[in-house]
């Protein structure tokens, strides 16, 4: 199963054979409705195996529900805010970048979050004294995608960073998962930024500390899976489940090749999203934006932010 496509470090880790997991540390804890798993990739070798740069990848997992109840929503926002608060420098301006194409609903998480970010950079001088000390300088951009702008996203962001000079960037993006059950039931926060070639929109150049000169925190939510992966996974579960007494065990390598051929021929590179994607994006963008707003303005409460933004 070489070519499984996922943007989640947790899934990559689960796919890695025990023997090759050296250099990766995993820690899981549960806070009520939300499970928080931290995957730390600590060596260059582990980075290669995992196909992800060294760093910390925090995954918040929860029961996916078309109707995210209020309690879960609240728990998620708090948990996300708490993870972000640990990764972002305490002081200085922050730039929130919403990656993706707002015209493609499944890829619109980033732009939607950027729109719902409480931006303050332009207000700072005009804020009433009651707020001034409690508000951090925040700006937001949704630079669009290569096919619409003709420009690499990373290049546009670099230009903005040079101008705004934030102390950190939060880059929000829709992700591809391997397991369809992860769609909208996982939020991944990584201190590595966005690697080249990842994300639904497949950003060809990365948004990383190296590229931008400041820490880049990536926040992503799986919105799509490859149809080929659905097929491959179903098959691998089948092999795991099958009773060896049903017949000769199936030669794994022969099968692998077969699957590759069949799946590729039949499904191509079809990428799919749940039929309910419109409502799912609404929910998740609201949660992610609220988590970011809380992390950046810990001294404002949620209703103050809602009021200031309306």
| Residue 66 binds its own copies (CB under 8 A) | yes
| Residue 262 binds its own copies (CB under 8 A) | yes
- Whole-angstrom distance, CA of residue 174 vs CA of residue 100: 7
Residue 191 · residue 236 · CB < 8 Å: no
| Residue 105 binds its own copies (CB under 8 A) | yes
Return all residues near 36 (Cβ < 8 A) that are at least 6 apart: 28, 29, 30, 58, 59, 60, 61, 79, 83
The nearest distance, CB 263 to its own copies, in angstroms, is 6
Q: In what order do the strands lie in the sheet with 138-141?
A: 24-31, 34-41, 55-61, 186-190, 216-226, 168-177, 94-98, 138-141
Residue 284 · residue 119 · CB < 8 Å: no
Rule CB under 8 A: which of 158-177 touch its own copies?
Answer: 158-160, 162-164
| Residue 134 binds its own copies (CB under 8 A) | no
Residue 166 · residue 213 · CB < 8 Å: no
| Residue 8 binds its own copies (CB under 8 A) | no
The mark string for 232-261 relative to its own copies (x by CB under 8 A, - otherwise) is: xxxx-xx--xx---xxxxxx--xx--xx-x
Placement of tokens 């400041």 in the chain: 214
Q: Using the rule CB under 8 A, which residue among 6, 37, 77, 120 binds its own copies?
A: 120
Contact range with its own copies by CB under 8 A, out of 19-27, 40-48, 107-115, 210-218: 107-115
Residue nearer to its own copies on the CB measure, 41 or 119: 119
| Residue 72 binds its own copies (CB under 8 A) | no
| Residue 67 binds its own copies (CB under 8 A) | yes
| Residue 88 binds its own copies (CB under 8 A) | no
Q: Using the rule CB under 8 A, which residue among 63, 69, 252, 301 binds its own copies?
A: 69
Which CA distances in Å does 10 have to 52, 195, 209? 11, 16, 22
Residue nearer to its own copies on the CB measure, 45 or 266: 266
- Whole-angstrom distance, CA of residue 194 vs CA of residue 7: 10
Tally of CA atoms within 13 A in the half-sphere of 234 that contains its CB:
9
Residue nearer to its own copies on the CB measure, 44 or 301: 301
Q: How many residues bind its own copies (CB under 8 A)?
A: 87
Residue nearer to its own copies on the CB measure, 13 or 283: 283
| Residue 29 binds its own copies (CB under 8 A) | no
Q: Using the rule CB under 8 A, which residue among 50, 146, 218, 221 binds its own copies?
A: 146
Q: Using the rule CB under 8 A, which residue among 53, 143, 220, 291 binds its own copies?
A: 143
How far is the first Cα of the chain from the last one, in angstroms, to the nearest whole number? 48
Which CA distances in Å does 236 have to 4, 184, 222, 268? 12, 23, 21, 19
Rule CB under 8 A: which of 205-224 touch its own copies?
Answer: 224
Q: Using the rule CB under 8 A, which residue among 181, 205, 256, 298 binds its own copies?
A: 181
Q: Using the rule CB under 8 A, which residue among 41, 50, 60, 142 binds its own copies?
A: 142
Residue among 172, 159, 218 at smallest CA distance from 193: 218
């Amino acid at each position: 199963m070489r070519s499984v496509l996922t943007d989640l470090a947790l899934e990559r880790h689960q796919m890695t054979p025990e023997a090759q997991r050296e250099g990766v540390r995993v820690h899981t804890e549960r806070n009520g409705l939300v499970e928080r798993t931290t995957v730390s990739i600590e060596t260059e070798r582990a980075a290669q195996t995992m196909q992800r740069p060294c760093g910390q990848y925090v995954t918040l997992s929860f029961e996916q529900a078309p109707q995210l109840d209020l309690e879960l929503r609240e728990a998620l926002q708090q948990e996300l805010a708490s993870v972000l608060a640990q990764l972002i420098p305490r002081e200085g301006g922050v730039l929130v970048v919403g990656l993706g194409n707002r015209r493609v609903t499944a890829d619109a998480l980033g732009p939607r979050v950027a729109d719902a970010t409480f931006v303050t950079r332009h207000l700072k001088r005009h804020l009433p004294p009651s707020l001034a000390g409690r508000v951090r300088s925040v700006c937001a951009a949704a630079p669009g995608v290569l096919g619409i702008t003709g420009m690499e996203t990373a290049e546009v962001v670099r230009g903005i960073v040079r101008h705004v000079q934030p102390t950190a960037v939060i880059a929000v993006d829709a992700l591809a998962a391997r397991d369809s059950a992860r769609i909208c039931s996982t939020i991944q926060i990584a201190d590595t930024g966005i690697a080249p070639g990842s994300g639904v929109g497949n950003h060809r150049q990365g948004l990383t500390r190296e590229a931008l000169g400041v820490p880049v925190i990536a926040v992503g939510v799986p919105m799509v899976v490859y149809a080929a992966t659905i097929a491959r996974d179903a098959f691998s579960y089948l092999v795991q489940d099958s009773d060896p007494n049903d017949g000769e065990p199936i030669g794994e390598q022969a099968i692998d090749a077969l699957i590759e051929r069949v799946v590729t021929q039949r499904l191509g590179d079809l990428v799919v999203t749940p039929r309910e994607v419109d409502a799912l994006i609404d929910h998740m963008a609201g949660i992610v934006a609220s988590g970011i707003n809380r992390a950046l303005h810990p001294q404002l409460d949620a209703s103050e932010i809602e009021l200031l933004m309306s």
